[in-house]
A = this chain, B = another copy of it.
Amino acid sequence: MSQPKPHCYAYPHPAVTTDIAVFTIREDALQLLLIRRGNPPYAGAWALPGGFLDIDEDLDTCAARELAEETGVRDIYLEQLYTFGAVGRDPRERVVSVAYFALAPAGRLAVQAGDDAAATGWFRLDALPELAFDHAEIIAAAHRRLVAKLDYSTIAFQFLPETFTLGELQRVYETLLDAELDKRNFRKWALALEQIEATGEVRRRGSHRPARLYRLTDRKQVAFLR
């Protein structure tokens, strides 16, 4: 803390960070990616990946960069969530954090601990550890947004790889809604969306009838329903 402080302003400026809540579905449960903090404050505690905004980078870029640096995760669905700026939320200095939430298929996540992070880990949303800062609040907001968006968008498809079966899609919805769904009604609904198409291929997995594979018609974009 004895370094020079050459960046000076006529009025005090808060620091700006991004924090990212990355969700995936593994082991039939909604899970969240956390890092174990290596440095104070809250050293040793679990926290959302994230970090300070560079002075010449956009907010979205910052979120993607911090996520890649700290966890190795890249090229996943990323959406700005809400900005948290309560006065005392960081004990070091005034920090305004632009929170993001991100979704990814479990398979595409090459997670590795990065620079600032002592370790990374996946946690079931119903069994989170103690969290640094106001990150529990951010996670709650991200989860609310995710569940709300299920209703009017195809966001849940972001949890699946490029091709998937209707059974896999149904299990995603069942996990997110924490409810069992009727198979016939679900398939009717999914096909009526006009967002997916059969690839023509099937997947053999286990000792039962092979399942048809589907893909999103419009590549990887999230569509709005209604």
Contact = CB atoms under 8 A, between A and B. Distances in A.
B98 A53 contact: no
Interface residues of A, number: 32
A44 interface: no
Contacts of A52: 11
Interface in A70-115: 80, 82-83, 85-87, 94, 96, 98
A10 B13 CA distance: 12
Count of chain copies = 2
A188 interface: no
Contacts of A53: 14, 85, 96
Given A59-B96, A80-B82, A85-B59, A8 B10 contact: no
Given A4-B10, A58-B87, A96-B96, 16 more contacts: A7-B10, A7-B11, A7-B13, A8-B8, A8-B9, A9-B13, A11-B15, A12-B55, A13-B14, A14-B53, A16-B16, A16-B96, A56-B87, A59-B96, A80-B83, A83-B98
Interface of A: 3-16, 52-53, 55-59, 80, 82-83, 85-87, 94, 96, 98, 151, 226
